[in-house]
Amino acid sequence: MKKDIYKTIKAPHLTEKVTNLMNQSNQYAFKVDINSTKKEIKKAVEAYFSVEVNKVRVLKVKGKTKRSRHRIKQRPNWKKAYVSVAEGQSIDVGIE
Protein backbone atom coordinates (compact mmCIF):
# COMPACT_ATOMS: atom_id res chain seq x y z
CA MET A 1 0.00 0.00 0.00
CA LYS A 2 1.44 3.36 -1.01
CA LYS A 3 1.51 6.19 1.48
CA ASP A 4 0.79 9.77 0.62
CA ILE A 5 3.92 11.93 0.98
CA TYR A 6 1.90 14.52 2.87
CA LYS A 7 1.01 11.93 5.51
CA THR A 8 4.56 10.61 5.83
CA ILE A 9 6.24 13.93 6.68
CA LYS A 10 4.37 15.76 9.43
CA ALA A 11 6.60 18.76 10.18
CA PRO A 12 10.22 19.89 10.31
CA HIS A 13 11.81 19.43 13.73
CA LEU A 14 13.80 22.56 14.55
CA THR A 15 16.12 22.66 17.55
CA GLU A 16 19.53 24.16 18.21
CA LYS A 17 21.19 20.81 17.46
CA VAL A 18 19.36 20.48 14.14
CA THR A 19 20.27 24.04 13.17
CA ASN A 20 23.96 23.22 13.71
CA LEU A 21 23.57 20.02 11.64
CA MET A 22 21.97 22.03 8.82
CA ASN A 23 24.92 24.43 8.70
CA GLN A 24 27.74 21.90 9.15
CA SER A 25 26.74 18.63 7.49
CA ASN A 26 23.64 19.41 5.38
CA GLN A 27 21.28 17.29 7.51
CA TYR A 28 17.65 18.05 8.35
CA ALA A 29 15.22 16.61 10.90
CA PHE A 30 11.53 15.89 10.43
CA LYS A 31 8.69 14.57 12.53
CA VAL A 32 7.31 11.65 10.55
CA ASP A 33 4.49 9.14 10.77
CA ILE A 34 5.18 6.46 13.39
CA ASN A 35 4.64 3.65 10.84
CA SER A 36 6.88 5.10 8.10
CA THR A 37 9.97 3.26 6.91
CA LYS A 38 13.31 4.72 5.79
CA LYS A 39 12.48 4.10 2.12
CA GLU A 40 9.10 5.85 2.43
CA ILE A 41 10.71 8.83 4.18
CA LYS A 42 13.43 9.07 1.51
CA LYS A 43 10.89 9.01 -1.34
CA ALA A 44 8.67 11.56 0.39
CA VAL A 45 11.51 14.04 1.01
CA GLU A 46 12.82 13.65 -2.54
CA ALA A 47 9.36 14.17 -4.04
CA TYR A 48 8.29 17.04 -1.79
CA PHE A 49 11.50 19.10 -1.72
CA SER A 50 13.06 18.03 -5.08
CA VAL A 51 16.43 17.09 -3.58
CA GLU A 52 18.63 13.99 -3.61
CA VAL A 53 18.72 12.17 -0.26
CA ASN A 54 21.94 10.34 0.68
CA LYS A 55 21.02 8.82 4.02
CA VAL A 56 18.08 8.56 6.42
CA ARG A 57 18.43 7.87 10.13
CA VAL A 58 15.27 7.16 12.13
CA LEU A 59 14.56 7.05 15.85
CA LYS A 60 11.47 6.70 17.97
CA VAL A 61 10.96 9.26 20.71
CA LYS A 62 9.13 8.05 23.78
CA GLY A 63 6.35 10.36 24.97
CA LYS A 64 6.92 12.06 28.29
CA THR A 65 4.96 11.11 31.38
CA LYS A 66 3.17 14.10 32.86
CA ARG A 67 1.79 14.25 36.38
CA SER A 68 -1.33 16.08 37.26
CA ARG A 69 -3.13 16.52 40.53
CA HIS A 70 -5.56 13.75 39.72
CA ARG A 71 -3.78 11.35 37.40
CA ILE A 72 -0.66 10.48 35.43
CA LYS A 73 -0.84 11.02 31.69
CA GLN A 74 1.52 10.02 28.92
CA ARG A 75 2.09 12.03 25.76
CA PRO A 76 2.09 10.00 22.55
CA ASN A 77 5.24 8.42 21.15
CA TRP A 78 6.51 9.86 17.86
CA LYS A 79 9.17 9.22 15.24
CA LYS A 80 11.99 11.54 14.15
CA ALA A 81 14.01 11.22 10.94
CA TYR A 82 17.41 12.79 10.24
CA VAL A 83 17.81 13.22 6.48
CA SER A 84 21.20 13.81 4.85
CA VAL A 85 20.95 15.74 1.57
CA ALA A 86 23.44 15.67 -1.31
CA GLU A 87 26.25 18.23 -1.44
CA GLY A 88 25.20 21.60 -2.84
CA GLN A 89 21.47 21.07 -2.23
CA SER A 90 19.35 22.45 0.58
CA ILE A 91 15.84 22.41 1.98
CA ASP A 92 14.03 25.58 2.97
CA VAL A 93 12.45 24.83 6.36
CA GLY A 94 11.51 28.39 7.21
CA ILE A 95 14.51 29.67 9.20
CA GLU A 96 17.37 31.88 8.12
- Single out the residue of 68, 66, 39, 70 nearest to residue 55, CA to CA: 39
Q: Is residue 41 part of a domain?
A: yes
Q: What integer is the mean pLDDT of 30-47?
A: 95
CATH code, domain carrying 62: 3.30.70.330
Torsion of CA 84, 30, 6, 77, to 10 degrees: 130
Q: Is residue 90 part of a domain?
A: no
Q: Is residue 95 part of a domain?
A: no
In the predicted structure, residue 8 carries a pLDDT above the cut 50: yes
Q: Is residue 62 part of a domain?
A: yes
1 confidence band (pLDDT: 50, 70, 90): very low
> What is the structure's pLDDT at 96?
56
Q: Give tens-digit pLDDT for 41-81.
A: 999 999 999 999 999 999 999 999 999 989 999 999 999 99
How many domains, in total, are found in the chain? 1
Residue 25's domain spans which residues?
5-85
